[in-house]
Amino acid sequence: MWSLFSGRSEDTYRLWRLSSFHITEVARPSMDAVEQHDAFFNSFNLVRGPCLGSGAVGEVVLASAKHNSSLKVAVKIVTFETEGCKGDFLSEVGFLRDLRHPRILEMIAFAMDDHHGFMLSTYFKNGTLRDTMSSDHPVEEPRILRHILDVASALRYIHGLHIFHQDVKPRNILLDDQDRAVLADFGIARQASDSSAMVMKWRTTPGYSGPETRKRRPMSPFK
Ligand SMILES: Nc1ncnc2c1ncn2[C@@H]1O[C@H](COP(=O)(O)OP(=O)(O)OP(=O)(O)O)[C@@H](O)[C@H]1O
Ligand SMILES: [Mg+2]
Protein backbone atom coordinates (compact mmCIF):
# COMPACT_ATOMS: atom_id res chain seq x y z
CA MET A 1 0.00 0.00 0.00
CA TRP A 2 1.12 3.57 -0.54
CA SER A 3 1.61 5.39 2.69
CA LEU A 4 0.06 8.79 2.28
CA PHE A 5 0.64 11.80 4.45
CA SER A 6 -0.86 15.23 4.17
CA GLY A 7 1.25 18.37 4.06
CA ARG A 8 1.72 20.90 6.82
CA SER A 9 -1.19 23.15 5.96
CA GLU A 10 -4.73 21.96 6.55
CA ASP A 11 -6.04 24.64 4.19
CA THR A 12 -3.77 23.57 1.38
CA TYR A 13 -4.70 19.97 1.97
CA ARG A 14 -8.42 20.78 1.87
CA LEU A 15 -7.91 22.78 -1.31
CA TRP A 16 -6.02 19.83 -2.71
CA ARG A 17 -8.91 17.48 -1.95
CA LEU A 18 -11.42 19.93 -3.41
CA SER A 19 -9.38 20.38 -6.53
CA SER A 20 -10.18 16.97 -8.01
CA PHE A 21 -7.00 15.39 -6.76
CA HIS A 22 -8.89 12.48 -5.22
CA ILE A 23 -6.53 10.39 -3.20
CA THR A 24 -7.07 6.67 -3.17
CA GLU A 25 -4.92 3.86 -1.92
CA VAL A 26 -3.56 1.40 -4.43
CA ALA A 27 -1.74 -1.85 -3.91
CA ARG A 28 1.98 -1.54 -4.51
CA PRO A 29 2.56 -3.27 -7.79
CA SER A 30 5.53 -5.56 -8.33
CA MET A 31 6.54 -3.95 -11.59
CA ASP A 32 9.57 -2.08 -12.75
CA ALA A 33 10.32 1.44 -11.57
CA VAL A 34 8.60 3.33 -14.39
CA GLU A 35 5.38 1.40 -13.96
CA GLN A 36 5.51 1.97 -10.23
CA HIS A 37 5.75 5.68 -10.93
CA ASP A 38 2.70 5.40 -13.19
CA ALA A 39 0.79 3.70 -10.39
CA PHE A 40 1.62 6.56 -8.08
CA PHE A 41 0.48 9.24 -10.55
CA ASN A 42 -2.72 7.30 -11.26
CA SER A 43 -3.48 6.91 -7.59
CA PHE A 44 -3.26 10.68 -7.17
CA ASN A 45 -5.27 11.29 -10.35
CA LEU A 46 -2.31 13.11 -11.80
CA VAL A 47 -0.93 13.20 -15.31
CA ARG A 48 2.83 13.08 -15.35
CA GLY A 49 4.45 15.96 -17.22
CA PRO A 50 8.00 16.86 -18.23
CA CYS A 51 11.06 16.67 -15.99
CA LEU A 52 11.74 19.99 -14.22
CA GLY A 53 15.12 19.04 -12.84
CA SER A 54 17.11 16.12 -11.55
CA GLY A 55 19.51 15.49 -8.72
CA ALA A 56 21.74 12.77 -7.33
CA VAL A 57 18.95 10.45 -6.21
CA GLY A 58 15.96 11.26 -8.36
CA GLU A 59 14.08 13.81 -10.36
CA VAL A 60 11.39 16.45 -10.08
CA VAL A 61 8.57 16.33 -12.61
CA LEU A 62 5.61 18.53 -13.39
CA ALA A 63 2.18 16.93 -12.93
CA SER A 64 -1.34 18.16 -13.53
CA ALA A 65 -4.74 17.05 -12.29
CA LYS A 66 -6.42 14.56 -14.60
CA HIS A 67 -9.69 16.50 -14.56
CA ASN A 68 -8.25 19.99 -14.69
CA SER A 69 -4.93 20.38 -16.44
CA SER A 70 -4.50 23.94 -15.16
CA LEU A 71 -3.96 22.56 -11.63
CA LYS A 72 -0.27 21.80 -11.48
CA VAL A 73 2.12 20.48 -8.86
CA ALA A 74 5.79 19.56 -8.76
CA VAL A 75 6.53 15.95 -7.77
CA LYS A 76 9.98 15.04 -6.41
CA ILE A 77 10.61 11.34 -6.97
CA VAL A 78 13.41 9.81 -4.91
CA THR A 79 14.57 6.25 -5.54
CA PHE A 80 15.64 4.53 -2.33
CA GLU A 81 18.86 3.09 -3.70
CA THR A 82 20.32 3.01 -0.20
CA GLU A 83 19.00 3.42 3.34
CA GLY A 84 20.72 6.82 3.27
CA CYS A 85 18.51 8.01 0.38
CA LYS A 86 15.42 6.92 2.27
CA GLY A 87 16.68 8.64 5.42
CA ASP A 88 17.30 11.90 3.52
CA PHE A 89 13.81 11.73 1.98
CA LEU A 90 12.15 11.15 5.36
CA SER A 91 14.22 13.94 6.86
CA GLU A 92 13.27 16.38 4.06
CA VAL A 93 9.52 15.70 4.26
CA GLY A 94 9.74 15.82 8.05
CA PHE A 95 11.20 19.33 7.93
CA LEU A 96 8.89 20.60 5.20
CA ARG A 97 5.82 19.27 6.99
CA ASP A 98 6.58 21.39 10.03
CA LEU A 99 8.17 24.53 8.58
CA ARG A 100 5.90 27.45 7.81
CA HIS A 101 7.51 30.43 6.18
CA PRO A 102 6.63 32.39 3.03
CA ARG A 103 10.19 32.00 1.71
CA ILE A 104 10.35 28.20 2.19
CA LEU A 105 8.91 25.67 -0.26
CA GLU A 106 5.45 24.45 0.73
CA MET A 107 4.98 20.70 0.67
CA ILE A 108 1.44 19.59 -0.15
CA ALA A 109 1.71 15.89 0.58
CA PHE A 110 4.09 12.98 0.36
CA ALA A 111 3.76 9.30 -0.30
CA MET A 112 6.15 6.39 -0.26
CA ASP A 113 6.47 2.68 -0.76
CA ASP A 114 9.47 0.43 -0.09
CA HIS A 115 11.39 1.70 -3.10
CA HIS A 116 10.35 5.30 -3.80
CA GLY A 117 9.42 8.51 -2.09
CA PHE A 118 7.13 11.06 -3.78
CA MET A 119 6.88 14.61 -2.54
CA LEU A 120 4.23 16.95 -3.93
CA SER A 121 4.87 20.66 -3.68
CA THR A 122 3.78 23.96 -5.15
CA TYR A 123 4.95 24.27 -8.76
CA PHE A 124 7.15 27.28 -9.57
CA LYS A 125 6.87 27.98 -13.26
CA ASN A 126 9.71 30.54 -13.17
CA GLY A 127 12.19 27.84 -12.14
CA THR A 128 15.27 28.51 -10.04
CA LEU A 129 17.72 31.33 -9.52
CA ARG A 130 20.20 29.22 -11.50
CA ASP A 131 17.90 29.38 -14.56
CA THR A 132 17.83 33.17 -14.29
CA MET A 133 21.59 33.36 -13.99
CA SER A 134 22.11 31.34 -17.13
CA SER A 135 20.01 33.69 -19.24
CA ASP A 136 21.79 36.25 -21.39
CA HIS A 137 20.81 39.29 -19.34
CA PRO A 138 22.81 40.10 -16.20
CA VAL A 139 20.73 40.10 -13.01
CA GLU A 140 20.37 43.69 -11.73
CA GLU A 141 21.70 44.54 -8.28
CA PRO A 142 18.36 45.42 -6.59
CA ARG A 143 16.99 42.07 -7.71
CA ILE A 144 20.02 40.20 -6.35
CA LEU A 145 19.70 42.05 -3.05
CA ARG A 146 16.02 41.13 -2.79
CA HIS A 147 16.81 37.47 -3.38
CA ILE A 148 19.59 37.56 -0.77
CA LEU A 149 17.24 39.11 1.78
CA ASP A 150 14.55 36.53 1.01
CA VAL A 151 16.95 33.62 1.52
CA ALA A 152 18.41 35.27 4.63
CA SER A 153 14.92 35.52 6.09
CA ALA A 154 14.29 31.81 5.42
CA LEU A 155 17.65 30.94 7.01
CA ARG A 156 17.01 33.12 10.06
CA TYR A 157 13.74 31.27 10.57
CA ILE A 158 15.21 27.75 10.33
CA HIS A 159 18.29 28.66 12.36
CA GLY A 160 15.93 29.79 15.11
CA LEU A 161 14.71 26.18 15.14
CA HIS A 162 18.34 24.92 15.12
CA ILE A 163 17.96 23.58 11.59
CA PHE A 164 20.84 24.09 9.16
CA HIS A 165 20.26 23.67 5.42
CA GLN A 166 23.79 22.78 4.18
CA ASP A 167 22.87 23.13 0.50
CA VAL A 168 22.07 26.77 -0.22
CA LYS A 169 22.80 27.27 -3.93
CA PRO A 170 21.04 28.87 -6.92
CA ARG A 171 19.57 25.50 -8.05
CA ASN A 172 17.81 25.15 -4.68
CA ILE A 173 16.25 28.62 -4.76
CA LEU A 174 12.94 28.83 -6.63
CA LEU A 175 11.40 32.07 -7.91
CA ASP A 176 7.70 32.76 -7.42
CA ASP A 177 5.33 34.82 -9.57
CA GLN A 178 6.46 38.03 -7.84
CA ASP A 179 10.12 37.15 -8.43
CA ARG A 180 10.60 36.44 -4.73
CA ALA A 181 13.04 33.72 -3.71
CA VAL A 182 11.84 30.51 -2.03
CA LEU A 183 14.31 28.13 -0.40
CA ALA A 184 13.89 24.46 -1.39
CA ASP A 185 15.67 21.09 -1.16
CA PHE A 186 15.99 20.16 2.50
CA GLY A 187 17.43 16.74 1.53
CA ILE A 188 20.63 17.19 3.53
CA ALA A 189 19.35 19.70 6.11
CA ARG A 190 19.85 18.63 9.71
CA GLN A 191 18.64 19.76 13.11
CA ALA A 192 21.02 20.43 15.99
CA SER A 193 20.13 19.98 19.64
CA ASP A 194 20.57 23.69 20.37
CA SER A 195 22.06 26.89 19.01
CA SER A 196 25.48 26.23 20.54
CA ALA A 197 25.88 22.81 18.85
CA MET A 198 29.05 22.31 16.84
CA VAL A 199 29.32 20.35 13.60
CA MET A 200 32.41 18.47 12.48
CA LYS A 201 31.29 16.67 9.34
CA TRP A 202 29.52 18.71 6.68
CA ARG A 203 27.57 17.50 3.66
CA THR A 204 27.64 20.14 1.00
CA THR A 205 27.69 20.61 -2.74
CA PRO A 206 31.31 21.14 -3.89
CA GLY A 207 31.79 24.75 -4.89
CA TYR A 208 29.08 26.09 -2.58
CA SER A 209 30.46 25.38 0.88
CA GLY A 210 32.35 27.94 2.92
CA PRO A 211 36.14 27.33 3.18
CA GLU A 212 35.73 26.90 6.95
CA THR A 213 33.83 23.60 6.40
CA ARG A 214 37.04 22.06 5.11
CA LYS A 215 39.07 22.88 8.21
CA ARG A 216 38.07 19.63 9.94
CA ARG A 217 37.37 21.19 13.28
CA PRO A 218 34.05 21.63 15.10
CA MET A 219 32.12 24.69 13.95
CA SER A 220 28.76 26.26 14.63
CA PRO A 221 26.35 26.08 11.69
CA PHE A 222 24.54 29.15 13.03
CA LYS A 223 27.30 31.77 13.31
N1 LIG B 1 8.49 23.08 -6.81
C2 LIG B 1 9.24 23.15 -7.92
N3 LIG B 1 8.83 23.86 -9.02
C4 LIG B 1 9.60 23.92 -10.12
N5 LIG B 1 10.82 23.31 -10.26
C6 LIG B 1 11.28 22.60 -9.21
C7 LIG B 1 10.52 22.48 -8.00
N8 LIG B 1 11.24 21.71 -7.13
C9 LIG B 1 12.37 21.37 -7.77
N10 LIG B 1 12.41 21.88 -9.01
C11 LIG B 1 13.49 21.69 -10.01
O12 LIG B 1 14.08 20.41 -9.78
C13 LIG B 1 15.46 20.55 -9.41
C14 LIG B 1 15.84 19.50 -8.40
O15 LIG B 1 15.06 19.68 -7.21
P16 LIG B 1 15.69 19.39 -5.77
O17 LIG B 1 16.83 20.32 -5.57
O18 LIG B 1 14.61 19.41 -4.75
O19 LIG B 1 16.19 17.89 -5.98
P20 LIG B 1 17.54 17.17 -5.61
O21 LIG B 1 17.44 15.81 -6.18
O22 LIG B 1 17.72 17.25 -4.14
O23 LIG B 1 18.65 18.02 -6.34
P24 LIG B 1 20.22 18.14 -6.05
O25 LIG B 1 20.70 16.80 -5.62
O26 LIG B 1 20.77 18.59 -7.39
O27 LIG B 1 20.35 19.21 -5.03
C28 LIG B 1 15.60 22.00 -8.94
O29 LIG B 1 16.92 22.49 -9.09
C30 LIG B 1 14.61 22.72 -9.84
O31 LIG B 1 15.20 22.94 -11.13
MG1 LIG C 1 18.66 20.45 -5.24
Identify the nearest ligand to the CA of 134 by its number. 1
CB atoms within 10 A of CB 33: 11
Residues in the 5 Å CB sphere of ion ligand 2: 55, 172, 185
Per-position pLDDT tens, the chain of length 223: 344 444 444 444 433 433 333 333 333 333 455 566 788 888 788 999 999 999 888 899 999 988 888 989 999 999 999 999 999 999 999 999 999 999 999 998 888 888 899 999 999 999 999 999 876 778 889 999 999 999 999 999 999 999 999 999 999 999 999 999 999 999 999 999 999 999 888 888 888 887 777 787 888 988 8
**CATH superfamily of this structure's domain 129-215:** Transferase(Phosphotransferase) domain 1 (1.10.510.10)
Residue 33, pLDDT score: 54
Instruction: Please confirm, yes or no, whether 167 is among the known catalytic residues.
Output: yes
- Cα of 180 vs centre of ligand 1, distance in Å, is 17
Report the pLDDT value the prediction gives residue 23, as an integer from 0 to 100: 39
Query: How far is Cα 142 from Cα 179, in angstroms, rounded to an integer?
Result: 12
Q: Ligand 1 centre and the CA of 82: distance in Å? A: 20
3-state secondary structure of 67: coil
Torsion of CA 181, 10, 195, 165, to 10 degrees: -40
Amino acid at 7: G
The topology under which CATH files domain 3-122 is: Phosphorylase Kinase; domain 1 (3.30.200)
d(CA 104, CA 8): 12
Distance of CA 8 to the CA centre of its chain: 13
pTM for the full model? 0.87
DSSP notation for 85-133: HHHHHHHHHHHHHH---TTBPPEEEEEE-SSEEEEEEE--TT-BHHHHH
The pair phi, psi for residue 103, each rounded to 5°, is: -105, 20
Mutating to test ligand 1, I would choose from 52, 93, 175 the residue with most ligand atoms within 8 A of its C-beta, which is 52
Give the model's pLDDT for residue 118: 93
- Ligand 2 center–CA 55 separation, angstroms: 6
From 167, 177, 185, 194, the catalytic residue: 167
User: What is the pLDDT at residue 60?
Assistant: 97
CA 109/CA 182 separation, integer angstroms? 18
Listed by start position, the domains of the chain span: 3-122, 129-215
